Amino acid sequence: MDPALIALSVGAALASLFMAWVIGAGSSGATPFAPAVGANAIGTMRAALLVGVFGFAGAVTQGGNVSEAVGSGLVGGISLPVAGVILVLVLGAGLMAVGITTGIPIATAFTVTGAVIGVGLALGGTPVWAKYQQIGAVWLLTPFIGGGIAFAIASVLPRPGAPERYSVPVLAGLVGSVLVNVRFSFLGEGTAPGTVRGLGQRILSLDGTASAVAITGLAALAVAAVVWWDVGRDEQGGLRRVLLALGSLVAFSAGGSQVGLAVGPLLPLLDEVEMVSTTAVLVGGGFGMLVGSWTGAPRMIKSLSQDYSSLGPRRSISALVPSFLIAQLAVLLGVPVSFNEIVVSAIIGSGAAVGGRDAVDAEKILTTVGAWAGSFAVSFALAYAVAALAL
């Protein structure tokens, strides 16, 4: 291999590692446990530790779909050269670093997606309109769906007719039913990913829709029963444990989605470096995110937990349930999604359900929405201009 190409590839790998660190220190490291910290269910430093561990696990076991979409699904007819990959990662990481420094939750998915599209189009690639429509729909609908679900849940939980001993187990059962149908890279047959439900069907030698529904229902009932027992014997402690479990699942989902933003641009380069596997790249990206979560996430966790709304355990649970559902849908579709957008929208919806306007910082929300829109536009424009002039 050409020494110059090797040097550029090493540079791209280092840029990817830095991007993974920035993601861990920012969006994926801060948002999953921000509601739990806001509800005083866990300390900031412990939250950073846990989100790093679960984010790493999600990156390794679920990171393939989004990584492939970012690497080859955003621009047609072209594969980004090494210099283009470095440009994408440096721009994305730079904008995220600005967000971390200022405390503004800039959306990682918006910056990386904008940079990949900008560089690809500047180098002669063709737009992939179907994928853009899918991504745009997810980005546009996320605040309304996530915030709406969180608002609905938070409106029900405090009601006397829906005591926590029954309503929270129902929510936990819903999450459990989704979890057993989530695809993991190590559960399938051969190299294909698989689900816990599918593993159960193979063990029991069952097939078909009826057995799938039955296993999913039994899993939901089992989770709901455990939570019902726990909340019944210790309501406040049980709610905190449910909240921490949901935060862990959201952190896991964040790792599965966000690692693709760091390592996805590298995947087309693997054809030229055959000794490096996709799994190894995902492990490296997950490790970078883990270190970022441990070293840089506490500031953003504190910002999100305190600035958006005043949360208790019930509203925090209301925020994390839709966050988990939307995150897993994005992983399934292979859509790069912003965890700032997901969790912040859910926090706002859950806070508004109970506290109304007084529970939400309108100025902070407007700043955040502006950062979301601006991060894509600035990233796209800078990437297109630099690639057109220098590559």
Structure tokens at 218: 């039994």
Give the CA radius of gyration of the chain. 21
Q: How far apart are CA 15 and CA 262, in angstroms?
A: 9
Higher pLDDT, 363 or 21: 21
Q: How far apart are CA 175 and CA 157, in angstroms?
A: 16
Q: How far apart are CA 28 and CA 182, in angstroms?
A: 19
Question: Residue 2 pLDDT > 70, yes or no?
Answer: no
Q: Which helix (H) or strand (E) holds 305?
A: helix 278-307
Structure tokens at 86: 């470095």
Question: Residue 305 pLDDT > 90, yes or no?
Answer: no
- Percentage of the chain lying above the pLDDT 70 cut: 90
Q: What residues have CB less than 8 Å from 171, skipping those under 6 apart? A: 153, 317, 321
Q: What's at 186, amino acid-wise?
A: F
Q: How far apart are CA 35 and CA 41, in angstroms?
A: 9
For the segment 56-81, the average pLDDT, to the nearest whole number, is: 85
Question: Residue 219 pLDDT > 80, yes or no?
Answer: yes
Contact 43, 123 (CB under 8 A): no
Contact 104, 88 (CB under 8 A): no
For the segment 246-259, the average pLDDT, to the nearest whole number, is: 89
Q: What residues have CB less than 8 Å from 48, skipping those under 6 apart? A: 29, 33, 293, 294, 297, 298, 301
* pLDDT band, residue 206 (cuts 50/70/90): confident
- Structure confidence at residue 122 (pLDDT): 93
Q: How far apart are CA 5 and CA 24, in angstroms?
A: 28
DSSP codes joined into one string, 265-291: GGGGGGGT-TTS-HHHHHHHHHHHHHH
Q: Give tens-digit pLDDT for 69-85.
A: 887 789 988 888 888 88
What's phi and psi for 381, nearest 5 deg? -65, -45
Q: Give tens-digit pLDDT for 355-374.
A: 666 666 677 778 778 888 88
- Structure confidence at residue 309 (pLDDT): 47
Q: Give tens-digit pLDDT for 100-141.
A: 677 666 788 898 999 999 999 999 999 999 999 999 999 989
Q: How far apart are CA 350 and CA 346, in angstroms?
A: 6
> Taken in order 315, 353, 310, 138, is the CA torsion positive or negative?
positive
Q: What residues have CB less than 8 Å from 31, skipping those under 6 apart? A: 105, 250, 254, 300, 304, 323, 339, 340, 342, 343, 344
Contact 117, 376 (CB under 8 A): no
* pLDDT band, residue 25 (cuts 50/70/90): confident
